Amino acid sequence: MNLKPLLLLIFFLPGIGYANNNPKGTGIGKKRIPKNTYSYPTRQHTVGETMKYIGWMYGLTWAVYPLTQWNTVRDEGSWKKYRHNFGKMVFDQDEPFWNWLVHPLSGSQLFLYYRALGYTRPHALGLTFISSALFEFTVETYTEPASVQDFYQTPVLGSLLGVGIETLSLYLLNTGNAFGKFFGHIINPFSLFWFYEGKVQVFPTVHKFRGKNVGGLSIMASF
Amino acid sequence: MKIILVLLALLGQFNALAFNHTGFLKGGISTGLAELNSLGKKDFFMGAGFNTHAGYRWIDWEFQLSSYIYIAKMDPGMDFESNGERAQANGNLRNVSFTPMLKYLSKLAPRKSWKLYFSAGPMISLQSIKLKSFTRQDGVQAQNYKVTYQSYGAALAVGMEEITAFKQMHPVYLEIMYQIQRSHKSTLNDASSSKSVLTIQDEGTSKKTLNQMIILSFGMTVF
């Protein structure tokens, strides 16, 4: 058995560790300063603003539903069925794949959409309930009646999952490295949109105040 | 004067953060015992699952939509009748219940900074039972079928919840719940695909069964 590569690896590993702790030399060990800081600031919204955001999401669901479930819409949907299903609510017979995975995943993205717009977590939960109910009662009725499980589980399990995704994505995005930023945005795509209010640039400043040099932080956010 | 202003501002902030007059989302794990009645005999199943609650707290009162998901392994299996056919089930029993609940946080404190609470509400639920062997009416021996029962009932719970200064401290709760439910509709489904379920027969339950459950839950306020 050739132990040469293993011995070389053992020999070099402590060296790599030393280089990592040594700021001198080629730049290894320098602190990474993220260009942007990601967070979820919250603010008050007017009723008109909230209606507008609900309306955007409602319009989007009309487009996303046939795009993501074209076969179901084509094979099982009709306007006759829509009239028949409208206003009905039943227990669906779906398997956990749909009720405990797909619907909570879509609910989590609804939750993160409202969080990106600056709503608090309880408000985002309430708005996720509204958006989800609008989808259940007026969009999905094209193929099937509204479901009791989806009405509850999409916003509630979705918000629980949304809190987890939010925390993980902030951690990844604030690492400042390419891997963290890539996966942070993948799991939380609304952090990429122009309406996301939590992306800010923070940098230290020194300015004169009453004749003295005072340190501070400048925060830049775009809207 | 400055100190008083700072104190007043802090007090106002604490009041805004206090866990009252606010929406919430709670979640946790559950375990319990289910008693199912079929063909004149009682079967008991131990299982586990999770619980979620979304609602609003005033000061001593809460209104919440609660869901308890409970999965139990049916071993030994359970014999029962569906659509005039005798069948045996020894897969999993899944019980999903939804309860709008009114909850009262009493002044009774079994431990320091914990309060005893009582909650009750009507309940709708769906029990899904996987069938190991089942003879269809056309004589074909089938597998991967499931029978679902829709039930109405009521739930009553007593528990204790941690009283914390702020919701952000994620108060914990421990609860014992009694559920009683009567089935009113059964459905036979082909569940061979995890993505789509085909309903074979849909009928009212001629023999309404009365089922009971005791569920112990442990969880916390997420936000």
Task: Using alpha carbons, list the distances in angstroms from residue A49 to A54, A76, A115, A119.
Answer: 9, 36, 14, 11
Higher pLDDT, B65 or A28: B65
Compare all CA atoms of chain A with the CA of B51 and give the residue at the minimum distance: A157
Neighbours of B130 (CB within 10 A): 18
ipTM: 0.81
In sequence order, the β-bridge partners of residue B22 are B57
Q: Which two tokens stand for residue A219?
A: 């925060």
**Residue of A94, A96, A148 with shortest CB distance to B124:** A148
Task: Name B30's Cβ contacts closer than 8 Å, sequence gap at least 6.
Answer: B48, B49, B50, B51, B68, B69, B70, B215, B216, B217, B218
| Number of structural domains chain A divides into | 1
CATH class of B22-221: mainly beta
Q: Mutate which of A40, A68, A89, A91 to test chain B, going by most B C-beta atoms within 10 A?
A: A91
CA atoms within 13 A on the CB side of A86: 9
**Distance between CA atoms of residues B185 and B168, nearest Å:** 43
Structural domain includes residue A141: yes
One pLDDT digit (tens) per residue for chain B, 223 residues: 566 655 555 544 544 557 889 999 999 999 999 988 766 677 888 999 999 999 999 999 999 999 999 998 876 666 666 666 666 666 788 899 999 999 999 999 888 889 999 999 999 999 888 776 666 556 666 677 788 889 999 999 999 999 998 899 999 999 999 999 998 888 777 766 655 555 655 565 556 778 899 999 999 999 9
Shortest distance between the Cα of B216 and any Cα of chain A, in A, equals 20
List the domain range (segments joined by +) for residue A69. Answer: 2-10+34-193
- Number of H helices and number of E strands within chain A? 9, 5
The verdict on a CB contact (< 8 Å) between A160 and B52 is: yes
**Residue of B22, B24, B222 with shortest CB distance to A160:** B222
**Distance between CA atoms of residues B173 and B217, nearest Å:** 8
Q: Which two tokens stand for residue A64?
A: 């996303």
Residue ranges per structural domain of chain B: 22-221
Question: A178-219, pLDDT tens digit by residue?
Answer: 999 999 999 999 999 988 988 877 767 788 888 888 887 777
Q: What is the pLDDT of residue B23?
A: 93
Compare all CA atoms of chain B with the CA of A96 and give the residue at the minimum distance: B194
- Residue A189 is classified by DSSP as G
Structural domain includes residue A95: yes
- The pTM score is 0.80
Peptide bond into B76 cis (omega under 30): yes
**Residue of A91, A96, A157 with shortest CB distance to B126:** A91
Crossing angle for the helix pair A148-175 and A121-138, to the nearest 10 degrees: 130
